[in-house]
Structure 1
């Protein structure tokens, strides 16, 4: 789906940063994180070329993996690749982030990488990789990763946190794609998951639409 297809001018994200006022010497990690956040904002605004320039390509993002202060930027680049349809390279980025996260001690009081703490990067990468697998038709693997993401979210934030609701919607979406692809009964599972997600997210009940 075209990233900009559902955007309106009022949806644009204004993330103006006057770089000439910032001294980047000895702050490579900080600049990398700032550029990644700006790249994500450009992507949300439908500015694909600007986003690509800000991320700097796969080599610089590969170098960020394994660094608690820049790992979120690498994960964000994976999201960019995912959204723009480069599934093979997005897969590599997600896998590298997940591999690094599995080796790291994230129990300490670590500075958030970009806009996420390290444990959130692990959760986000697990969920996004599961989504990517479902988009690629690998539903068994997708179910495995999305189940892990759901367990991580519940352990970190509690069963009624909005992040749990968001992961539930991803799981439901996976079952919807699986049902469409295989003609299976997964649609019933999907409906139950959507209802649970709506409850967690405190959204109006499905059957309340149109009622006063």
Structure 2
């Protein structure tokens, strides 16, 4: 149980090496050069649906950026994608060329997002909707990612508007001339659009309203992708823990299969395949802790931590903080259930989360700077739990009280108090959007 914490307490960056037992591949490109998996549930494209050389360029651009994550590799990746979008590989109004163009746009937005350019990433996603001859999944993936970025930025009303647009785009497909060709995948897109609307309701704390979008159990063949993860979170909130656990696991396996095949997942930004894998592993670990199986909770959260660090090449990325917070709360729950303490382990993890998520004050926000992404949900939760650790130590009670007051002042959840968030069984840390639902 303490093998992860021991590494974390020495230096954050060592956690990756401590968790290399992860059996899942972590260095496969999300964009293929040649091989494609058979067409399944609207998440991928078949090889005949794109221009192969365009996919090779996309693959190269993304790899260049992720290999170094420097300003130079960022510019190089965007330069390659700009060329891809302006050459004959993506010109033309036929579906094959528009699909290729759409994949390049999704890749461009993903690179911008991973660089922290949220506003521009969203703007680039808007352009995808002009590709009216592209496969429906390309446009749905762009809208889903756009809503996801708005959710991460705390702009829930804008996210809701995009989700409504996504539903309309899917429903309008019924009237499309090629509907019969895409009928086999229409259900998958419809479920994906409904799940996006359900996610927004969960973020707002409206679990009963979210039930409208999961009014019928989702067929097991659709238990993958972002829709599957959101469905599992909904089940978690409804205390259907056993089924939620099954769906979480299915999402993990589906994401791993996509990456092993090297296929393009029709999404971008915080809804990409990498984010999906981290999110499902982390949520699975959370529910294992909830069910009292702390060995497997640590195992799953450990893999999620490795994935989070490798996905962004940065041990201090906010995604890492979200997983660390989940890991710390797992130790908290274990300590309560087993009447132990593990105070030093918990304190070390909370301090790392707080250090990563230095939420700036209003005075430090500069006009015209990078978009402010308020991750105060997780930062406040970590501070609140840290305050508990401090308060049980006689010589640190005053420090704990100050930390508690700070945490409560940061807490913004509309339907849940900080105290409830610490103690409730049904909270879920969604690492995709850095929000607590």
Superposition TM-score tier, normalisation by shorter sequence: 0.7 to 0.9
- When structure 1 is superposed on structure 2, of 188-197 and 45-54 the one drifting more is 45-54
Matched, 1:159 2:315: yes
Range moving further from structure 2, 147-156 or 47-56: 47-56
- In 2 relative to 1, CA 155–58 (structure 1 residues): closer, same or farther, beyond 3 Å? same
CA distance in 1, matches of 2:264, 2:221: 23
> CA RMSD, aligned part only?
2.9
Q: Render the CA deviation track for 1:70-97: whole Å, top value 9, x for unaligned.
A: x110111001111221101101111111
Correspondence for 1:8: none
8 Å contact from structure 1 (residues 172, 190) kept in 2: yes
Q: Which of 166, 173, 178 is the matching residue for 1:24?
A: 173
Change beyond 3 A, Cα 1:115–1:150: closer
CA distance in 2, matches of 1:12, 1:137: 35
Report whether the alignment pairs 1:73 with 2:227: yes
Cα shift readout 1:138-177 (whole Å, capped 9, x = no counterpart): 1111011111111100011121110001111111100111
* DSSP-derived class of the 1:104 partner: helix
Distance in 2 between the 1:24 and 1:54 partners? 19
Residue deviations 1:52-107 (CA, integer Å, cap 9, x gap): 221243333x22235xxxx1101110011112211011011111112222333264
Paired with 2:274 and 2:301, the residues of 1 have a C-alpha distance of 16
- Correspondence 1:90-129 to 2 at 5 A: 90-105=244-259, 107-112=262-267, 116-129=271-284
May I ask how many residue pairs the two structures share in their alignment?
196
Q: What TM-score results when the alignment is normalised by the length of structure 2?
A: 0.41
1:145 alignment partner in structure 2? 300
- Correspondent of 1:182 among 329, 338, 344: 338
Structure 1 gap ranges (5+): 1-10
Query: Which has the larger displacement, 99-108 or 38-47?
Result: 99-108
> How far apart in 1 are the matches of 2:278 and 2:155?
27
Residue 142 of structure 2 is matched in structure 1 by: none
**Cα distance 1:203–1:195, how it changes in 2: closer, same or farther (>3 A)?**
farther
The match for 1:5 is: none
Q: Where do 5+ consecutive residues of structure 2 fail to align?
A: 1-153, 175-181, 361-378, 384-398, 407-437
Q: Which residue of the partner structure matches residue 242 of structure 2?
A: 88
Question: Which of these two proteins has the greater Rg computed from alpha carbons?
Answer: 2
Tell me, yes or no, if structure 1 residue 64 matches structure 2 residue 222. Answer: yes
TM normalised by structure 1 equals 0.80
Is the CA contact (8 Å cut-off) linking 1:75 and 1:125 kept in structure 2? yes
* In the alignment, structure 1 residue 197 sits paired with structure 2 residue 353: yes
Moved more, 171-180 or 93-102: 93-102
Evaluate the alpha carbon distance shift between residue 119 and residue 12 of structure 1 in structure 2; reply closer, same or farther with a 3 A threshold.
closer
**Mapped contact 1:172–1:194 kept (Cα < 8 A):** yes
